[in-house]
A and B are shown apart, each in its own frame.
Chain A
Amino acid sequence: MEPARCSGAGSGNSGTYATEITETLRLEEIESLMDVNVIHQGFEGSSPENAGGSSFTALLGLHPSQAVELLHELDPSSSGGFRLGDPKAIHFPLSCSPTFPSNAALIERATRFSVFAAAEESPEGSSAFPSNSDGDHSPNPKSDPPDSDLKPQRLAKRKETDKSSKAKTPSKKGKSTAGDDGEGSPANPDDDKLPYVHVRARRGQATDSHSLAERARREKINARMKLLQELVPGCSKISGTALVLDEIINHVQLLQRQVEILSMRLAAVNPRIDFTGLDNLLSAECGRVTASGHGPGWVDGSCNGVIRRSHHYDNQQQIWHVDLQQQETAGWERDETQQLLHHHVFISGSSSGSPPGTSLFGYDSAASALPLSTQLKSEM
């Protein structure tokens, strides 16, 4: 692929970035970061350079406008090299088609963003980018600060709440009953996240530390019990911790027993469908499709879990697709194609039809382990 070709040194460094990412960022964090990037950068239209790389930008979760900026950025600095203060050199031939530099630059950008999010260096990164900018990079500082502000903001927010809770806990004992009028503790949702608990005493209740701590503990337990009650069906009517616990225990036992039964059933149902004999199944489905003519709805419905769709076809909407596992494609796919051709099972609805002569011809050309989809496509 072009990104690997574009920068030899870059690929090595991006490998280390990748390991950093896996070590320091969680999956949700990455996803949420990407979502946030996409949301907070307004859509500014697409340019022809991004037509090729648009899918790539979508993969990265970055916005196409950023690719345009990067393209603008990189163009004037191509002769003089990067002034980003970057140790690795990116050598990409600008004489290639314009999608190449955008891809490499987007990789750069994406890795830098994720690295910055992990290492909290986003102010440096955002300042490095505008330092490059000339007059027409006005979208650049506009999109970078909201982008870079988000990450330190989110991290700062956690630190803020932490500091505020730590600051407030010494004043726990200072709260009087008169001041707080039936107000619950506002920091209750933070109980679960933060080590310090900020609890306000309600009116008419004791304020010594023991009862406050106990109340905090009870609130925690009650919150989680409520969650559990919602989860377990039929538990919301029951009042009393012991009975609710009984119901929860019964429910867990029931679920575990169901899993055992289902696993036994799965083990028992398999011999009927040999997975190596799945081609028989598929040919049967094919036959059913040709017979009925509007089969694919039924086929899709029944084989949805087993057969996943892979979109290799352009105008044939009634053809089911087989998700071929990598280990077994060589093995039973050839058998399957042989069977299919042998029984002359082809999906009806093709415009030209498929005379047997061309089918055999198609099979000969596909003898070198083509995947099933392309083989069928060549015959259509």
Chain B
Amino acid sequence: MPIFISDGSSSSKDVERNRKMNKTALRPSPKNWHTDREQNIYSSKLIETLRRIRRSSPKAEELRRSRAIREAADRILAVAGRGRTRWSRAILFSRNLKIKHSRPRKAVYFPTQLKKRGRPQVLKCKAGVLGRLVPGCRKLSFPTLLEEASDYIAALQMQVRAMASLTAILSASGGFSSPDPDRYAP
């Protein structure tokens, strides 16, 4: 279970200081996502969760298992963000609410009438689209939305890298796993 450092129990002075620390600390956080250390942490946690999922649902329900894996991967990503960003908090807190309408996911398209409208409208629409893509950022101001989006993109890239290497390793060693008990008998 993710261990969360919460602000709820600290005094007002601490909350203020935490907010200042948050603001100063939020800035370099998009840079932290590409380190190897974060990726290793993420991979190891993902392996643990994979094992657990494997053990808990041994039936061949590929669809449910893949969805569970995806949600677990997103949750681990949010935990890795240490809860300082809105999208990570949104992922962690509203997972139980979003099970119903996670499918189907249709493609987002721009309404064509927008081309005739003014430029700020277009921008606002696109900002809305982006806010719907990034979890928990639907009604945010534009600069905060951009900040959240940058952090989210960095986190997603790290996630894709980690999962790709994990699948490569697992499929590679899975390809070689041919147990031959008679081979090594003396």
Listed in ascending order, the chain A residues whose CB lies under 8 Å from chain B are: 22-24, 26-29, 118, 155, 158, 192-194, 217, 220-221, 224-225, 227-228, 231-232, 241-242, 245-246, 248-249, 251-253, 255-256, 258-260, 262-275, 277, 280-281, 283-285, 287-288, 290, 302-306, 308, 325, 328, 342-345, 356
Known: A252-B133, A343-B185. A228 touches B160 (CB 8 A): no
Question: Chain A residue with minimal CB distance to B19?
Answer: A195
Contact between chains at A259 and B160 (CB < 8 Å): yes
Residues of A within 8 A of B130 (CB): 245, 248-249, 252
Interface: B101 (CB within 8 A): no
Contact between chains at A29 and B167 (CB < 8 Å): no
A-B contacts, 5 of them at CB < 8 A, read A194-B23, A255-B160, A266-B170, A287-B184, A342-B181
Contact between chains at B169 and A270 (CB < 8 Å): no
Contact between chains at A24 and B54 (CB < 8 Å): no
Q: How far is the CB of B49 from chain A (nearest CB, A)?
A: 10
Contact between chains at A252 and B156 (CB < 8 Å): yes
CB-contact partner of B25 in A28, A118, A228, under 8 A: A28
Known: A259-B73, A345-B184. A242 touches B119 (CB 8 A): yes
Contact between chains at A256 and B185 (CB < 8 Å): no
Beyond contacts A252-B149, A284-B180, A325-B51: 7 other A-B pairs, Cβ-Cβ < 8 A, are A24-B17, A259-B73, A267-B69, A270-B170, A273-B170, A284-B176, A287-B180
Question: Chain A residue with minimal CB distance to B182?
Answer: A343
Contact between chains at A256 and B156 (CB < 8 Å): yes
Contact between chains at B166 and A266 (CB < 8 Å): yes
A271 to B5, CA, bound (A): 36
CB-contact partner of A272 in B126, B129, B163, B174, under 8 A: B174
A217 to B27, CA, bound (A): 17
Known: A252-B134, A252-B149. A193 touches B24 (CB 8 A): yes
CB-contact partner of B150 in A224, A241, A288, A345, under 8 A: A224
Residues of A within 8 A of B62 (CB): 264, 267-268
Contact between chains at B163 and A259 (CB < 8 Å): yes
Residues of B within 8 A of A221 (CB): 142-143, 146
Q: How far is the CB of A332 from chain B (nearest CB, A)?
A: 11
Interface: B99 (CB within 8 A): no
Contact between chains at A267 and B24 (CB < 8 Å): no
A236 to B74, CA, bound (A): 28
Interface: B94 (CB within 8 A): no
Contact between chains at A23 and B186 (CB < 8 Å): no
Q: How far is the CB of B76 from chain A (nearest CB, A)?
A: 12
Interface: B138 (CB within 8 A): no
A228 to B130, CA, bound (A): 13
Contact between chains at B181 and A343 (CB < 8 Å): yes
Contact between chains at A273 and B177 (CB < 8 Å): yes
Residues of B within 8 A of A255 (CB): 153, 156-157, 159-160
Interface: B154 (CB within 8 A): yes
Contact between chains at B108 and A227 (CB < 8 Å): no
Question: Chain B residue with minimal CB distance to A355?
Answer: B186
Contact between chains at B179 and A280 (CB < 8 Å): yes
Contact between chains at A26 and B43 (CB < 8 Å): no
Question: Chain A residue with minimal CB distance to B186?
Answer: A344
Contact between chains at B66 and A275 (CB < 8 Å): no
Interface: B21 (CB within 8 A): yes
Contact between chains at B167 and A269 (CB < 8 Å): yes
Contact between chains at A26 and B20 (CB < 8 Å): no
Interface: B9 (CB within 8 A): yes
Mask: chain B, 67-99; 1 = CB below 8 Å from A; 0 = not? 101100110000000100000000000000000
CB-based closest 3 A-B pairs: A224-B146, A263-B70, A272-B174
A270 to B82, CA, bound (A): 29
CB-contact partner of A217 in B133, B143, B157, B180, under 8 A: B143
Known: A259-B160, A281-B177. A224 touches B147 (CB 8 A): yes
A259 to B76, CA, bound (A): 13
